[in-house]
Amino acid sequence: MTVRIGLIGAGGMGRAHVERIENELAGGTVVAVADINLDGAKAVAEPLGAKAYATGAELIADPEVDAVLIATFGKVHAPDVLAAVEAGKYVLCEKPLTTTAEDGLKVLEAEQRAGKKLVTVGFMRRFDAGYGEMRKALVDGELGYATLVHCRHRNPTVPEGYTTRNMIDDTAIHEIDTCRFLLGEEITSVRIDTPRATSRRFAHLQDPLVLVAKTESGVLIDDEVNVNIQFGYAIECELVLEAGTIRLSDQHHTITRDAVGEHHAICSSHIDRFHAAFNQEVQQWIRAVERGEHTGSTSWDGYAATCVVDAAIESLESGGVEVAVQMIDRPAFYA
Ligand code: ISE
């Protein structure tokens, strides 16, 4: 069977997914594209012979769409995720699942009413080989348990519309999920530190900022979020265990030596840095949809990450105090 995918959101991320589904992956094809900008939807849909819609609701209602891929901005995810779940369709939604914990709860409730897990959140780092090795080392346990995780999340630049809130709910959310995934436990409190701001930012931004979090077992996480670092897209992560450390390597394949010195290329965005992880994520999702199964992170993961974001925003707005993360008990459905 070929999974007939409907894409909502014809921006850069949506187009990158179309490219991988049509040219790199097996088992799926994009049959419909929806975007609030109908011309944008048509520009992506027409070369594929796919249908174009101006709303996600119309695309979800199309009986020829088997599964839905949402790649719009976070704050408009909730109604489309809920509509897909209510239509009984599998949905892969880019992060954040929702931008409020309240909307996250609505998704959890709708999915439980549907009686099966239908929602996968696009936390693609879970499919990155390096993070996978780190997780395996933790599970194997030879180096003991984790005590600290040091993370750095650096973007070259961001557009003027990008807010300090987005540095948490759109950028740091990746480390929030990655640390939950690596450590296999929830984050219980969080605080935001605000160092001297770079002059290479739009004036409204607090850039960089550092998110400091603690987990149930007491692991301390520090995450430098720096969205105007200029030189490239750079993700670092070091796990400190009792008897060793594990550090994510850079993603270069070759090193050049010349008159300038020894150097290698640096990625420019998440789309190239995590290309292989995105491919794995979407390929596994297509295969799972074919079998009628869920794969990847759940809406619980999306909800839990949003609860940590909410606490971080509260800390930011209250001058950096440590804020306890509030979340409901994990329903047995997501055990
Ligand atoms: C973007 O949406 C991503 O998901 C990237 O991984 C992140 O680095 C960037 O800051 C976000 O805006």
pLDDT at 113 over 90: yes
Whether the Cβ atoms of residue 153 and residue 274 lie closer than 8 Å to each other: no
pTM check: above 0.95: yes
Asked whether residue 236 falls in the same domain as residue 325, the answer is yes
Task: Please provide the average confidence, as pLDDT, over all residues in the chain.
Answer: 97
If you measure from the C-alpha of residue 174 to the centroid of ligand 1, how many angstroms do you get, rounded to a whole number?
8
Total domains in the fold of the chain: 2
Domain carrying residue 88: 3-123+276-298
Asked whether residue 136 falls in the same domain as residue 234, the answer is yes
Q: Give pLDDT tens digits for 253-306.
A: 789 999 999 998 899 999 999 999 999 999 999 999 999 999 999 999 999 999
If you measure from the C-alpha of residue 170 to the centroid of ligand 1, how many angstroms do you get, rounded to a whole number?
6
| Beta strand pairing call for 146-154 and 234-241 | antiparallel
Asked whether residue 62 falls in the same domain as residue 115, the answer is yes
- Nearest atom, ligand 1, residue 233 CA: 8
Asked whether residue 182 falls in the same domain as residue 312, the answer is yes
Asked whether residue 214 falls in the same domain as residue 113, the answer is no
What CATH number corresponds to the domain at position 114?
A: 3.40.50.720
Ligand 1 site, CB within 6 A:
155, 170-171, 174, 270
Query: Quick one: pLDDT at residue 111?
Result: 98
If you measure from the C-alpha of residue 63 to the centroid of ligand 1, how many angstroms do you get, rounded to a whole number?
32
**Among 327, 3, 6, CA closest to 180:** 327
Look at ligand 1, atom 7, and give the residue with the nearest C-alpha: 171
The mean pLDDT value for 9-17 works out to: 98
Asked whether residue 192 falls in the same domain as residue 326, the answer is yes
Look at ligand 1, atom 9, and give the residue with the nearest C-alpha: 171
Asked whether residue 72 falls in the same domain as residue 146, the answer is no
Asked whether residue 317 falls in the same domain as residue 256, the answer is yes
Look at ligand 1, atom 11, and give the residue with the nearest C-alpha: 171
Asked whether residue 286 falls in the same domain as residue 268, the answer is no
CA 134 vs CA 139, 162, 188, 266: distances in Å: 9, 31, 22, 22
Asked whether residue 211 falls in the same domain as residue 324, the answer is yes
What CATH number corresponds to the domain at position 154?
A: 3.30.360.10
Asked whether residue 30 falls in the same domain as residue 80, the answer is yes
- Nearest atom, ligand 1, residue 174 CA: 6
Mutate to test the pocket of ligand 1, among 157, 171, 175 (most ligand atoms within 8 A of CB): 171
If you measure from the C-alpha of residue 307 to the centroid of ligand 1, how many angstroms do you get, rounded to a whole number?
19
Asked whether residue 231 falls in the same domain as residue 116, the answer is no
- Nearest atom, ligand 1, residue 162 CA: 12
54-79 burial code (b ≥16 CB/10 A, e <16): bbbeebbebeebbbbbbbbebeebbe
